[in-house]
């Protein structure tokens, strides 16, 4: 009686041997189900590939006819106006400051731009005025145009290399000071 049932406090317990046997049976059934499921999916995949392979040639046969795009009408070309360029590189002024002046003269005739730059309080105005004068002389000497009839069609200010300088500060520190440079370019075209 002690072998089959153990008593604890007057209650009988069931033998422990029956539970593991049930677990072993479910464990044995589970792998069989998984392997059967794998076989089913493996059997289904090649069949699906065969079906798509059979359908693919059928799709290629009826080719859709595309409508030809209408040809664009040739544009009436405007007479080419000569463009005279000049550029100044490594100008020792920050590009942000130079753009303020460049935006004021963009699109103006040369005589009005010269008057504006002559009375501008900014120091970069002198550099831009020299650049416009250089472009005007290029128009006269190289392209045989009248400089006073030219218009500032394009003026751009790009950033050049930055010179880095250092200044001593408190507690033995050093702070960097950036000396920025600019590349300025001008394009002139004749007025209409």
Distance CA(99)–CA(91), nearest Å, equals 13
Pick the more confident residue, 56 or 140.
140
Contact call for residues 180 and 159 (beta carbons, < 8 A): yes
Query: How many degrees, rounded to 5, is the angle at CA 21 between CA 17 and CA 23?
Result: 120
Would you say domain 84-190 falls under CATH 3.90.470.10?
yes
Is the confidence at residue 118, as pLDDT, over 70?
yes
What is the per-residue pLDDT across 24-52, written as a single tens digit (0 to 9) for each? 555 555 555 555 555 555 555 555 555 55
Pick the more confident residue, 1 or 191.
191
Q: Rounded to whole angstroms, what are the CA distances from 5 to 11, 13, 19, 162, 165?
A: 10, 6, 15, 94, 94
Is the confidence at residue 61, as pLDDT, over 60?
no
Q: What is the mean pLDDT of the chain?
A: 80
In the chain, DSSP finds a helix count (H) and a strand count (E) of 4, 7
Q: Which pLDDT belongs to residue 23?
A: 52
What mean pLDDT comes out for the span 176-181? 98
Is the confidence at residue 127, as pLDDT, over 60?
yes
Distance CA(182)–CA(100), nearest Å, equals 13
Q: Which pLDDT belongs to residue 114?
A: 96
Q: Which pLDDT belongs to residue 110?
A: 96
Pick the more confident residue, 69 or 88.
88
Q: Which pLDDT belongs to residue 64?
A: 64
> Within 13 A of 166's CA, how many CA atoms are on the CB side?
5
Helix 124-142, helix 110-118: angle, nearest 10: 150
């Amino acid at each position: 009686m002690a072998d089959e049932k153990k008593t604890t406090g007057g209650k009988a317990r069931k033998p422990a041997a029956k539970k593991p046997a049930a677990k072993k049976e479910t464990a044995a059934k589970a792998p069989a189900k998984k392997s059967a499921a794998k076989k089913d999916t493996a059997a289904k995949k090649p069949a699906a590939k065969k079906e798509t392979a059979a359908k693919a040639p059928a799709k290629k046969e009826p080719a859709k006819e595309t409508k030809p795009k209408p040809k664009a009408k040739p544009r009436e070309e405007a007479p080419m106006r000569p463009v005279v360029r000049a550029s100044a590189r490594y100008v020792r002024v920050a590009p942000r400051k130079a753009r303020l002046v460049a935006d004021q003269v963009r699109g103006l005739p040369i005589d009005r731009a010269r008057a504006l730059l002559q009375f501008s309080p900014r120091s970069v105005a002198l550099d831009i005025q020299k650049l416009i004068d250089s472009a005007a002389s290029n128009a006269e000497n190289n392209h045989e145009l009248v400089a006073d009839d030219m218009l500032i069609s394009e003026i751009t200010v790009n950033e050049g290399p930055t010179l880095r300088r250092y200044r001593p500060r408190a507690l033995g520190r050093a702070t960097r000071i950036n000396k920025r440079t600019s590349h300025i370019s001008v394009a002139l075209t004749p007025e209409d």
